[in-house]
Amino acid sequence: MMPAAQQALPNTMGLSSHGQFFARFESISQLLELLRWAQRATLPVRVLGAGSNVLLPEYVPGLIVQNGMGQHRAVRRDGNFCWVVVDGGCPWHQWVLDSIQYGHGVENLALIPGTVGAAPIQNIGAYGVELADVLEWVEGIQLSTGQLTRWSIAQCRFAYRDSVFKRELRGDVIITRVCFRLARRFDPDVSYGPLAQWAQTHEVTPVGLIEQVCEVRRSKLPDPQVLANAGSFFKNPLVAADKAEQLQRLHPNMPKYPAGDAVKLAAGWLIETVGWKGKRLGPVGMHDQQALVLVNHGAATLADVQALVRQVQKDVLARFDVLLEPEPQLFAEA
């Protein structure tokens, strides 16, 4: 198969971006063919999912590939769990909808944009559940070796919105398949406030929980097809317990949550408190309903986004002595 030249690259942030060459593979053999083509042309290879958690420059050199494989199948069952292998190109939300035919554990992650293959990079999480809670292994092509490799959950080195694929292996892996370990017994986590309130008056079923998670997300996050955005833009920062106590003495209404030996602060609250909720800087701004979401009001460039990020970081640092870290990665930066 021959890649297309000068292809527009999809991204939910709505940034205009073109790749030197682009191709969507539907099988491992097609992927290997594309990698050989890039090697002969001495071009770097980069993988792009649905473009939901990345910031794209105006031009990306090399060959950009996208996983078009989207099947799933159960490979093992016992009395407690069902193991399901899912192709990396499967849309994440579609997988959540399909998952309940096998088992349970990902219902709280409904409506998160992106693909299954992108999910391990960020160790996606929401409403008390993280990908690491239900993952068995990740499989993919490691570009530096050309080998099909499998990483166990321990080798993935998952942390809060982090993994080995975001650190040491950044830009070096095309994730082709992910194996999930789903519980056969439905034991939902409805500890998150809005879910807990809903559960008090409703029978909690897998379908019902997915629908409620979708409703909560839609009430908090703008639809990128209506208002371009990359979802929650900043990580909730982790600080030492003594620092959190010091900050709460100064700001009694500051929300905080235990996170092991550290304390997690609410990035959205920090941003809103310094006055950025609903505020714009050129064509970009922080959403007027959710300060954690950076939105593109039209024709924004990567430079516009980066300028706003720096200003928000500067203001939060000056007020709270806390440095916010963006969740989306700069595409093609390895």
Choosing from 46, 107, 136, 161, the catalytic residue is 161
Catalytic site includes residue 232: yes
Choosing from 107, 136, 139, 327, the catalytic residue is 327
Beta strand 135-142 with 173-183: parallel, antiparallel or unpaired? antiparallel
What are the structure tokens assigned to 82, written together? 């069902």
Catalytic site includes residue 58: no
Catalytic site includes residue 211: no
Average pLDDT, integer, range 303-327? 97
Average pLDDT, integer, range 308-326? 97
What are the structure tokens assigned to 294, written together? 């950076």
Domain annotation for the chain: domains and CATH numbers: 4-67 (3.30.43.10), 72-183 (3.30.465.10), 228-330 (3.90.78.10)
* Torsion on CA atoms 216, 220, 223, 224, rounded to nearest 10: -130
pTM of the shown model:
0.87
Choosing from 17, 99, 163, 232, the catalytic residue is 232
Q: What is the pLDDT of residues 73-132, one digit of tens each?
A: 999 999 999 999 999 999 999 999 999 999 999 999 999 999 999 999 999 999 999 999
Strand segments, DSSP code E, in the chain are 4-8, 18-25, 45-47, 54-55, 59-67, 72-77, 81-87, 125-126, 129-130, 135-142, 147-152, 173-183, 228-232, 238-240, 256-259, 262-265, 280-281, 284-286, 293-296, 329-330
At 334 the pLDDT is 42
Q: What is the pLDDT of residues 227-278, one digit of tens each?
A: 999 989 999 999 999 999 999 999 999 999 998 899 999 999 999 999 999 9
Judge whether 91 and 102 are in contact, CB under 8 Å: no
Least confident of 36-40, 133-137, 202-206, 257-261: 257-261
At 67 the pLDDT is 96
